[in-house]
Every structure is written in structure tokens, then in C-alpha cells.
Amino acid sequence: MKKIYICLGIVSILTFSGCGKKEPESAAKEEATAPATAPATIDDANAATVTGKVAFSGDKPTMRNIDMSANPACARAHSGAPPKSEEVVVNDNGTLKNVFVWVKSGLPERQWPVPSTPVELTQKGCMYGPHVIGVMANQNIKIVNNDPTNHNIHPLPKINQEWNESQPPKGEDKLKRFAREEVMIPVKCNVHPWMRSYIGVVNHPFFAVTGDDGTFTIKGLPPGTYTLEAWHEKYAPQDVQVTVGAKESKTVDFPFKAS
Amino acid sequence: MSDQDQDKDPVVHSSLSRPLFIWSALLLLSLGWALYDEVYGIRPWKSYQSHFSKVYSRYLRSVRPNESTFEKQIQASPEYQKLDRDAEAARKTVAAQVEARDREVKQVLVPQTLALNDPFQEVRSHIGSLTYQIETTNSQSSKESMRREIEQIKKEIHTVKLPMPDGTTKKVDYDYARMDRDLLAWKNRKAQLLQEIVDLQKPYTELLAARDKYLSDRVADVSSGMLAGLLNKMDDFDIGVRQIHIKDVDLVDRCESCHLGTREPVTLTKAAMGGEEVFVSHPNKELLKIHDPEKFGCTPCHGGNGVAVDSIEKAHGSNEHWLWPLHSRENFEAGCQQCHVKEIVTEMAPALNAGRELFRLRGCMGCHRYEGFDREPEEMISVNQQIRQLENQKAEWDREIGFTSDKADRTRDNAEAQRLYQHANDLKVRISGLDAKIEQADMRASNLIREVKKVGPSLKEVRMKMHKEWIPVWLQDPHKWRPGTKMPTFRLDQDDIQAIAAFIWQSGVTGNLPTSSPGDPVKGKESFETRGCMACHSMGEGNDKEGGTFAANLSRVGEKDNYDYLVRWIHNPRERTLPYCPFEKRDLTEADYKKKGVPFVFDMDHSKCPNDGHELQVEQMTPMPSLRLTVEEARDIASYLLTQKHFDATYPAADYLDDPKLKTHGAFLVRYYGCAGCHEISGLEEEQRTGTELTKEGSKPIERLDFALLGHGAEREGWYNHKGFFEHKLQDPAVYDRGKEKPNKLDRLKMPNFNLSKPEIDEVATFLLGSVDSALPERYYFEPTDQRQDVIEGWWVIRKYNCMGCHQVHVGQTTVFMTLPRYQDPDWKDQRPPSLIGEGARVNPAWLMRFLANPALSETDTNRDGVRQYLKARMPTFYFSASEIQKLVRFFAASSSQSMPYIDPKMEAISDQERTMARQLFSSEGAPCLKCHATGDAKHDQRATAPNFLLSKERLKPGWTERWMVHPEMMQPGTAMPSGLFRREGDRWVFAGPTPPSFQNYPRDHADLLVRYMFQFTPEELNRLRASAGAGAGR
């Protein structure tokens, strides 16, 4: 009999100790506050370099003439010789111009210093120059109107914020910037529908645009393995893996083919 | 008793201490238990509360340093510092002046006033008491003496020690008048000085305010001051039941006894609250603003048992027999439906809206009545009834007029005769009122014939439209042939299919179709992809599917349709082979017209029955509009569509479709399965719905939901509730036949399978779960009597015709065009149809009415869009009824808070000089207006991307036009219309580019000038403008 009572007692103790709401076991996770990473500096002593060229093979596409007749102010700037579309520009040495080459992935999570000098995008003869530019996120882009006509600058990003602003003839320069990485942002002018430019916005300084010789150089890379992407407005982008050691220089070529 | 027994006498031989100890221990323990249970056991919320207070304080402390370091960062920013410095500088420049004034107030005026005030008050009260005595005494002599006494007192000299700024005092002799004068002067002087101080410090205080605003603009959530306040609140946290009591409804909700973070000003996430979901903030603060919990409580929206606090199960109402359990996560918007029962679109309830739309679009309403859905047929009955009643009333009054007049003629008393004549006349006037009412009802009735739509295509047209062999294949399994189609899969065997197909085929009408020559499929593809077809229709199969889901996927149309029919359909889908007479209940034929000698023409303008004058159904009952394409373009599109097919598909011959023996059984089955709920079928035009009404299905007693043999299983598995019933039924409509012995197939459940996806099932279930016979009082229902009612009504029309496939109608909405790959290209982006957000503020409602009725804005030149000829996509003609147009116009007005009717604001006339100026500006190189806006010049307009200014006056509202010119990016971020055309100069807008010389010394607002120019624009002025622009171009 005693045992029963003891049992009862124990059972009851166990029962009510099991009652009540259990304190949640999971300890409160502190909000992960992103510590402001100190701006990374480029370690010149160990920096690696990647250079290369963008080769073009196949038939060189002929670009159409741009008809500016509806806009005499634009046409006059080209004095009779209508400019050609810059969709595909093949250099005389068989390389491709206006290819945006950038380190797509592989970089350590760091904040890279944003250059204080702006990148210039001009409107001259109702054409954008340069046709392709690269900037760092939050780096200023200086937009200049050298034409005697009104332009409007209308970037059409998918990630960044879209805007469309008018710029009067020889009007005040505009300073604009994009906060988020986006490759590429097409830019157009609604008034002159042929005008087109592309802006590559990257979180780091490791990018380049091929020029008249079709080459590119990306300097100051920390040692590591990277994916480089070459982007062209007409042809599909190409990726290449490259590993560089400290102070190493490597060459990477991108072959583009006429489609 | 033996000695041995005596030895064992418990009193003598054993100690009771052990049992006593055990019992007392047990007693103590049960006391402890009772106390614990009293305090915590039946009050689980207490431990929630103490835990909340702990984690919340911890969280607040953890964010505080961040907030304050962030604040410090802002305070350290150059902008803030500059404002701070400027404020300080502004303070310093006036410091000396402020100081001098302050000193005068504090050291001179205030102490001197104080020193003089006492003697002054003393004398004044003495005078006051004497004056009272004069007023109350009767003796004239004592009045006189007291008056003299007052004069005496006023003359008395008081010596007052006035404190001086240097700390000394100065004795001054005062009589009463001087005291009064000085005090008043000092008071005025003090007020003047204080005002001067305020004025002097104004730049300083303004800068200070700017500085503080700079900070508050940048600290998004809460300031550190507020956090400190919240922390203090947590320190004094008081454990107790927290309840909302709404007296008039007798509602008590204690949910916040555990859900303590619901209304905290800081946004609390699960992670922030140590993983405790119970403490998170309400996810939609805006929703709470509209439905203030102090007025609405919690359970009316969420369900659950608001009073219960002793266990989660009871509080959430998931215990047995509780009628309103908490809505689960995937169905929580069900709570909206019970009060927003009249709506098809409820803001901030996307899942519920999707559920309603599925219910409508998939044709659930074809079989199941649901109040408000597919209401036109019911309204038609009630309107016709109303007409009959009015006509009866009219006849009755007519008789009474006759009697009354007769009686008046015969009465001998003139006055009485007069009264009776008057009464007869009154009745005549009232009858004319009835006539007006009948006219309205008649109009409504003919509107309604236009408004009735069917979910599926008319089956009267099958012989004209289809390949015969396709029909049985389709009936077998529509979803296999066209995945995702609206037509559900019925559980039919081969005999059923043959009978149904044969009936449908044999009941189809025949007629003449013009034979069309073949079109160009390449051109047709381009038209199909750009004219707007894809806002409703999709093309491509599987992952390649692109386009809208409102109408059918057209990937295999080439396997089933006749070319000539398709051409007619694309050219005008409303055109039907024969008109239907609802009065005679049959389709009229050419013979009917011939008999009466009338040409066989039936359309919107010829909609009366030649036999009896009744209103005919002259349209196909499809919401598909006419794009006003040329016949050639319709041919191109039809030719393209016919290329869309599986080339390896084969169809067995189906000659039995012509077997008359199958027809009767087929008709029975078609009626049995309720096909006429969604299709127009000969002979079944007036069929009733075959399913159960669902308006209150969510609150049907659970025992009346037939779980059949699955009831026990459902209870075991925890889905013996409405949610479980709906979900299983929607997943597999035959589920409750499982295990049942039903040899006669007509006894089986007949609801077909819609092949809904899991999210779609959740959406429909949400809608059904909210469809309850609500116990809430009337004031909870959303039945506005103001403009919001117009919004509710308008949404039904907008959904019915899928306006949202092309247009953005509300903020945050995605159109089909926005998803089409072609329209992602920078150049094609401008080809998307216009956004209609703010349409009511933009356009004149009278114009909008005209445009909706005839989007070409022309009776003759219909192969165009009335406003945006530059768009490839085109606003189609929907053949809206008058009341649909009214509803749409009111909807847009209400959505933009525009009062109706609209009265044109009076506009200041533009002077000739101003007109010239505006023209010069419009045509100058510095202004881009004419580069994009159409001018009516064919060559120029090839490149135009914006409407002609000639439309402005009729179409736009001037206030909107000015706002648009100045800030287009505010209304439509990313619009082709550039921002920054004007800059602010003082209190006016000035054109930002170079202005023509004539603008020199023009003092007025440039934006206003251009608006007045546009609103007083004439065709002649357009010619002048074009000439001027041409001259400019030639320069």
C-alpha cells in the first residue's frame, strides 16, 4: 500500500513538473548585424594581372547606316557620312571591340574602394561615347551633352532603379550612379531611338572594356581562382576559369564567332 | 488474543511517523501543485509573457547600439555637420541682439512690473469695491461722496521702489493713472521684445529643424530615443491578461496575452525574437491601420476562440465543436471574404483574389451558384419581373384615372370635383415617371443580353468551327490534349463520349461562311505576338509556354479548327452564325427574316426579332473582343494559328457523330453533367445549375459535408474539417466515392476534375472557407456607400474582360506584357500598353466613355487605335454595354479620388503672343516634344511614340497634364517621357533647356503656359506648329 502512495506521489511530481510551458530551448539568435567591412585595399605587392584579347572569327557583319534624316541637328554633325551602328565593331586586327570583361565570381567578400573620378558618357553627334562603359557600384558617371539638341538619358536596368531624364542642348553635366551590381544596363534616348549604350556596374574594380586593339587588362587581382566573363551585346557571354598566384600574369583569350 | 498478537499492537509496537511523514509530504506536494497550477498551469500565457519581456528587452538592447552608432554616423556626416554648424553660426550672429533683448526682459521689465503690480492691484481693488458700492447703494449723496473718494484715491501718490538693472533700486512716485500707463507700456514692450527674439532666431530654429529632419529622414525604423522608451516599458512589464473588448459586439479577444509583439512599433521577426514565432509583429501594418484591432478585434478576421487562454489548442479553436477555428497559414485570407463578400478584388488579399478568379474563370460558377458571380442571368429575370410590375402598376393607375375622372364629372360639389381632377392629374404625372423607369429597365434588359458571357465557347458553332474527329478525343481528357485548360475532365466511358459528341454535333447550327484565301503565317505570327492576343492567350507547350492564362493555349489549334471559321472569329469573335431569340427560345434562321421580308442582318444595330420585336442575342457570349483588324490581317493570324499543331497527331474517324440514335441519350448526359453551365448549347439555353450553392459553404455544418466512408480516416488523420473536405474534393472530385458500392454510374459523384495545382487548391479553398454565414454584426461588412462602391463594381468588369492582361490597373501589379520576352527589350518596352494607374485623374470621363465605346475614336477609320497609333498592340473593341462603360468610368474616377460628374475647370485664354511663344518652344531643338509626340503627319508619325496634342483638350485634365509634364517619373517610373524638363525658379516652373528669345522677361509659369497652349490647341495651330517645326528642321 505504501508503495502505491509513493508511486502516486512520484507520478504526481513527474506530472506537474512536466506541466507548464517549456522555456524555448533555442537561445535567441542575435541579429546578424553585417559588420561594416573595412574597405579592402589592393595589395600591389602580391597583385596578379590577367590580360588577353577578344578574337573574332567568321564573316565580319556589315553594320547598317543610321538614318538621322529626321533629326537634322544630328545629321549635320556627321556632315554627309551617316554613322554606322555600333552593335558589332570588329577591329582591323580581327578582334572585337566593346566587349565587357569582368571577374564574375571568385573574389573574396570585401568592399573595394570606389574611385572618386567619374566615368564619362558623352552624347556627341547623337551617338553615345563610349558605346560600352564599366563602372563600380556607386561610382559616378558623368553624362555630357555636346550636341545642339535635347537628349534624354534613359537607362533600362532590371536590378537597379530605372530613370529617364532630359538634358538640354549643351546643358549642365549630370552625375549619376548605380548602387547595385548589374551587367549590363542598356541606355537609350527616347528622342533619338538609334542611340544605345551599355553600362556594366560591378562591385569591384576588376573589369575592362576592349578597345580598338581588342585587348583587355585586369590588374591588381589578389591570388585566387576566378570566373571571367566576356559580355557582348550581340553574342552570348563567355565564361573562363582562371587561377592566378601572387604577382602572376596570365593571358586569357575569348574567341567570338560570327553567328 | 495471544501474547504474540499483543506484541504486534500497532499503537504500542510501531511508529506512525513514517506514514505521517509520507502523507504530509504528499499534502505539501499537492499544495505546491495546486499553487503552481493556479499560477502557471492553467495560465500558460504567464510564461509567454515573462519570456517575451526577456527576449524583447534583449533584442532592444542588441539593436540599440546599432541604431545609435548609425545615428552617430549620420551625425558625423558632412551634411549634418554643416547644418549643425550653420545653425550654430546663425545662433551666434544674432546672439548679442537676442541677449540684449533677453536682458531687458529679465532684468528690467519683469522685476519692475512685479514691483509695481502690487500697489497697482491694491488701488484697483479699492476702486473696484467702491464702484460696486456706488452701484448697489440707493442714496444719491453717498454715491457722490464715494465718487469723490475714488477721485481722491486715484490722485494719491504711492512711492514705489523700482529695481534697476544695476541691482540698485530707485524710488518713483506714482499716481494711479501713471501706474496703469507704465504697466501697459511695459507689457507691450515685453511682448515686442519676445517677438523680436523669435524673429531673430528664426534662421537658427529653421536650421535646427532641418538638421533634426535630416536625421529623422535617415533613421528608418525607430530612433534610439524610442528604443529607450520601449526598454523602459519592458522594465515595468506587468504580467496580466491583455484583451481587446469591443462592447457593441460583445467581443473579447485575449490573443495578445501571448502574441505580445503584434502591435509593437519595432518590426519583430522570428529570428529577432529568439526563434519564437508567437512574438512576431503583425506582418501587415497597413492592414492593421485599416482594421484597427481596437475596433475589429483579432478573431473576426483570423478565427479562433478569443476568450480561451488556457491552451493553444483552445485559443486557436482547433478543439472539437468550435465552429470558427483559426485559419491556417495558406488560407488566412479566408477571413477577408466574410466581410468583403461583394468583391471580386480585395486589396491586399492576393490569394483570396486568385481563388475568386479561379472560381469564375474555371467555370465553377457554371454549376455552383455563388451570390454575385455570373449574376447577369439572375438580374435579367429580376429586371423583367420589375418591368412587369411597373406595367401592372401603370395599368392600375390608368384605370384609377378613368374612375376618378368619371366620378369628378358626376359629382355635384365643385370643390370635390376639383380635388378629384387634381388627383387624376397627379396620377398622370406619376405614370410618366413610371414610363421613365420602365425605359431604364428596358435599357438595362438589353444591356444585360450583351453582358451575359459564358466560360466556354458556344457549342452551337461546332459544325462550322471544328474537325469532327477531334471532339471525342477532347471529351476523353481535355487536360491531356491541352494541359491547364479550363475544361475539366469528366469521368466518361466510351458510350457516354460517343453519345455526348453525337448530340453536340447534331445540335450544332449550320450557315454560310465566306471562303477566305490563305494568309501569310509569318506576318500572322508577328501580329499574334504584337497585337495583344498574348495578353489572354498563351502559345507554346511545357516550359516554352508564353502569354496569358485568361484564355486558351493555342499551341494545337491547327489540329482542330476550320480556317474560314477562324478567320471570321479573329476578325470579330462576337459574330455568330444565327441570332438567338430568348422569347421564342430558338435560333432564328434566314427563313424567319425572309418571311418578314427583312434582310438577314443581325448585329448591335439590328438586334430586334423580326417576328415579335424582342431583343435578340446577336453576339457570341465570349468576352473576347474585336481587335478591329483588317480581314487580311485576320487571315494572316488564322494561317499562322493553323500551323500550330502536333504533326504526328492522329484522330480516329468518328462517323457515329451523325448517328441520330445517339442524340437522345447524348442530350440527357449533356443535361446531366451540366455542360450548359459553361457552354451555349441548342435547346439548353435556359438550363439551371446542376451543383450545390456555395455562397455559405464554409459554414455548412460539418456533418452535412459528405465525407462518406472517409470520415473516420479523416478524423484520424486530422482533416475532418471544412478545409480538409474542400482540399480533398478539389484534389480528386471523386474521392468521396472511394469504397462506395455504386453500380449505377449515374449515382456516382459527377463533379469533373479541374487538375488544379496545390497553390490553386489553396486559393480556391481560401475562398470557400471564407464563404460563411457570418455571425459578425453588420458594421463589420465592407459595404461602402461612397465612391469605394464604384471601385467594387468596377473590378467585376475589369476582371471579366481581363483588362489587367494589358494594363496596370493597381500599383504593384504585373501585366502579361511585362512578362513576355520580346517586351523586355529596351525598344519594345515602350510598346507595352499604357498603365492605367491614376487614369481617373488623367482623363476626362466624358472622353473615356467615348473611347471605351469606340477605341478607334472614329466611325469610319476603325483599323487603328484612337490614342496611340504608334503601339502595335491595340485597344480592342469590347462592345461594352452602357452600364459596363459607366462602371468602368466610375471605377477609374473613384480609384483616383475624382469627384463625379466632372466639370471642366475654367481655363485662362492664351494670348496670341503666348501662343507664338509656346509654338516656338515646342518646335525648338531644345525641346524634345515633337520628336516623340505624333503630329498627324504620316512621315513624322512613323517615328512617333506618344499621343497627338490635338487630343489633349478632349482627353486630359489640365491639372494632371501639368503634374505629368513636370514629374512624369512620379507617376510612371521608367516612362519614355523624360523628367527634368522644367526647373523650379522661385514659385514657378521654368523650362530647363534653352528657351526661344521671346521668353525673355516672360514672368509667368512655363508649364502652365504649355498646358494652356495644349488645351487651346486647334487643327490650324497644329498646321502652324508643323510648319514651324519643319522650318526649324530645315535650318
What pLDDT does residue A18 have? 43
Determine the Cα–Cα distance for residues B804 and B799; give it in Å rounded to an integer: 7
Q: Which of A83-92, B158-167, B303-312 has the lowest mean pLDDT?
A: B158-167
pLDDT over 80 (residue B2):
no
CB atoms within 10 A of CB B608: 16
| CB contact set of B597 (below 8 Å; sequence gap of 6+) | none
pLDDT tens digits, B553-610: 999 999 999 999 999 999 999 999 999 998 888 999 999 999 999 999 999 889 989 9
Phi/psi at B211 (5° precision):
-65, -45
3-state secondary structure of B780: helix
Task: Tell me whether A146 touches chain B (CB under 8 Å).
Answer: no
What pLDDT does residue A75 have? 86
Please tell me whether residues B22 and B149 are part of one structural domain. no
Determine the Cα–Cα distance for residues B564 and B1009; give it in Å rounded to an integer: 55
In this structure, is residue B90 part of a structural domain?
Answer: yes
* CB burial string B672-698: b at 16+ within 10 A, e below: ebbbbbbbbbbbbbeeebbeeebeebb
How many residue contacts between A and B have a Cβ separation below 8 Å?
141
Task: Tell me whether A8 touches chain B (CB under 8 Å).
Answer: yes
Please tell me whether residues B624 and B560 are part of one structural domain. yes
C-alpha cell at B632: 487580311
pLDDT over 80 (residue A100):
yes
What pLDDT does residue B215 have? 79
C-alpha cell at A90: 570588329
What pLDDT does residue A214 have? 92
CATH number for the domain harbouring residue B996:
1.10.760
From chain A, the residues in CB contact with B272 under 8 A are 31
In this structure, is residue B237 part of a structural domain?
Answer: no
pLDDT tens digits, A220-254: 999 999 999 999 999 999 999 999 998 899 999 99
Please tell me whether residues B386 and B500 are part of one structural domain. no
Select from A156, A168, A191 the Cβ nearest to the Cβ of B829: A156
pLDDT over 70 (residue A42):
no
In this structure, is residue A71 part of a structural domain?
Answer: yes
Residues 31-70 of A with CB under 8 A from B: 31, 33, 70
In this structure, is residue B844 part of a structural domain?
Answer: yes
pLDDT tens digits, A188-230: 998 898 999 999 999 999 999 999 999 999 999 999 999 999 9
Give whole-number Cα distances, B683 to B442, B480, B506, B509, B686, in Å: 25, 29, 12, 11, 8
Q: Do B979 and A12 touch (CB under 8 A)?
A: no
Q: Which chain A residue has its CA at the smallest distance from B277's CA?
A: A24
pLDDT over 80 (residue A35):
no
Please tell me whether residues B877 and B917 are part of one structural domain. no
Q: Do A16 and B993 touch (CB under 8 A)?
A: no
pLDDT over 50 (residue A24):
no
Residue A32 DSSP code: -
> What region does A79 belong to: left with phi over 0, alpha with psi -120 to 50, or beta?
left
Tell which of A128, A166, A188 to mutate to test the B interface (max B CBs under 10 Å).
A166
pLDDT tens digits, B664-710: 999 999 999 999 999 999 999 988 899 999 999 999 998 899 999 99
What pLDDT does residue A67 have? 87
CB B708 within 8 A of CB B737: yes
> What region does B321 belong to: left with phi over 0, alpha with psi -120 to 50, or beta?
left
What pLDDT does residue B69 have? 76
Residue range B452-458: mean pLDDT, rounded? 94
What pLDDT does residue B796 have? 96
The total of structural domains in chain B comes to 6
Q: Which chain A residue has its CA at the smallest distance from B19's CA?
A: A2
Task: Tell me whether A157 touches chain B (CB under 8 Å).
Answer: no
In this structure, is residue A15 part of a structural domain?
Answer: no
From chain B, the residues in CB contact with A5 under 8 A are 22-23, 26
What pLDDT does residue A182 have? 95
Please report which helix (H) or strand (E) contains residue B655, including its range.
none
In this structure, is residue A109 part of a structural domain?
Answer: yes
Give whole-number Cα distances, B239 to A146, B39, B275, in Å: 71, 11, 22
From chain B, the residues in CB contact with A19 under 8 A are 36-37, 40-41
In this structure, is residue B494 part of a structural domain?
Answer: yes
Please tell me whether residues B406 and B486 are part of one structural domain. no
What pLDDT does residue B40 have? 74
How close A174 gets to chain B, by Cα (Å)?
11
CB A256 within 8 A of CB A232: yes
From chain A, the residues in CB contact with B53 under 8 A are none
What pLDDT does residue A5 have? 53
Q: Quick one: angle between helices B176-218 and B44-76, nearest 10?
A: 100
In a 10 Å sphere around its CB, with 0-12 CB exposed, 13-18 middle and 19+ buried, how is residue B28 labelled? Answer: exposed
Select from B37, B945, B979 the Cβ nearest to the Cβ of A166: B979
pLDDT over 60 (residue A36):
no
Residue range B154-170: mean pLDDT, rounded? 86
What pLDDT does residue B775 have? 80
In this structure, is residue B306 part of a structural domain?
Answer: no
Query: Which residue(s) pair with B841 in the sheet?
Result: none
Mean pLDDT score across all residues of chain A:
84
Q: Which chain B residue has its CA at the smallest distance from A35's CA?
A: B66
Please tell me whether residues B389 and B522 are part of one structural domain. no
pLDDT above 70 coverage of chain B, percent = 98
Query: Which residue(s) pair with A249 in the sheet?
Result: A49
Confidence of residue B39 (pLDDT cuts 50, 70, 90): confident
Q: By residue range, what is the domain housing residue A227?
A: 48-257
Report how far apart the first and last C-alpha atoms of chain A are (Å, whole number): 96
In this structure, is residue B583 part of a structural domain?
Answer: no
3-state secondary structure of A141: strand
Q: Half-sphere exposure of residue A149, counting CA atoms within 13 Å on the CB side?
A: 29
Q: Do B44 and A20 touch (CB under 8 A)?
A: yes
CATH number for the domain harbouring residue A96:
2.60.40.420
What sign results for the dihedral spanned by CA atoms B919, B923, B925, B930?
Answer: positive
In this structure, is residue B294 part of a structural domain?
Answer: no
**pLDDT greater at residue B732 or residue A20:** B732
What pLDDT does residue B998 have? 92
How close A68 gets to chain B, by Cα (Å)?
12
Q: Which chain A residue has its CA at the smallest distance from B922's CA?
A: A150
Residue range B146-155: mean pLDDT, rounded? 90
Please tell me whether residues B85 and B207 are part of one structural domain. yes
In this structure, is residue A70 part of a structural domain?
Answer: yes
Q: How far is CA B266 from the centre of its chain?
A: 27
From chain A, the residues in CB contact with B969 under 8 A are 163-164
Residue range B451-459: mean pLDDT, rounded? 94
Confidence of residue B78 (pLDDT cuts 50, 70, 90): confident
Q: Quick one: which of B218, B206, B180, B194 has its CA closest to B71?
A: B218
What pLDDT does residue B10 have? 67
In this structure, is residue B878 part of a structural domain?
Answer: yes
Mean pLDDT score across all residues of chain B:
91
Please tell me whether residues B567 and B646 are part of one structural domain. yes
This model of the complex carries an ipTM of 0.77
pLDDT tens digits, B810-824: 988 999 999 999 999
What pLDDT does residue B708 have? 92
Residue B8 DSSP code: T
pLDDT over 80 (residue B516):
yes
Q: Quick one: which of A161, A191, A156 has its CA closest to B829?
A: A156
Report how far apart the first and last C-alpha atoms of chain B are (Å, whole number): 145
pLDDT over 80 (residue B976):
yes
What pLDDT does residue B3 have? 54
C-alpha cell at A17: 513538473
Determine the Cα–Cα distance for residues B892 and B900; give it in Å rounded to an integer: 11
Fill in the amino acid letter for B185.
A
Please tell me whether residues B442 and B473 are part of one structural domain. no
Q: Which of A37-46, A198-207, B496-505 has the lowest mean pLDDT?
A: A37-46
Domain endpoint, select from B655, B670, B685: B670
What pLDDT does residue A68 have? 86
C-alpha cell at B130: 467702491
Determine the Cα–Cα distance for residues A52 and A249; give it in Å rounded to an integer: 10
Please tell me whether residues B210 and B90 are part of one structural domain. yes
In this structure, is residue A212 part of a structural domain?
Answer: yes
Q: Could you check whether the bond before residue B928 is cis, i.e. omega within 30 degrees of 0?
A: no
Q: By residue range, what is the domain housing residue B870?
A: 788-895
Q: Quick one: which of B672, B652, B676, B653 has its CA closest to B664?
A: B672
Determine the Cα–Cα distance for residues B338 and B459; give it in Å rounded to an integer: 37
Rg (CA), chain A: 29
pLDDT over 70 (residue A28):
no
What's the whole-model pTM score? 0.82
C-alpha cell at B71: 545615428
In this structure, is residue A43 part of a structural domain?
Answer: no
Phi/psi at B656 (5° precision):
-65, -15
Residue range B121-126: mean pLDDT, rounded? 91
pLDDT over 60 (residue B634):
yes
Query: Which residue(s) pair with A243 in the sheet?
Result: A225
Instruction: Please state the length of chain B.
Output: 1035
Select from B23, B36, B968 the Cβ nearest to the Cβ of A16: B36
Select from B62, B274, B974 the Cβ nearest to the Cβ of A26: B274
pLDDT above 90 coverage of chain B, percent = 64
Please tell me whether residues B106 and B163 are part of one structural domain. yes
pLDDT tens digits, A2-23: 455 554 555 455 444 444 444 4
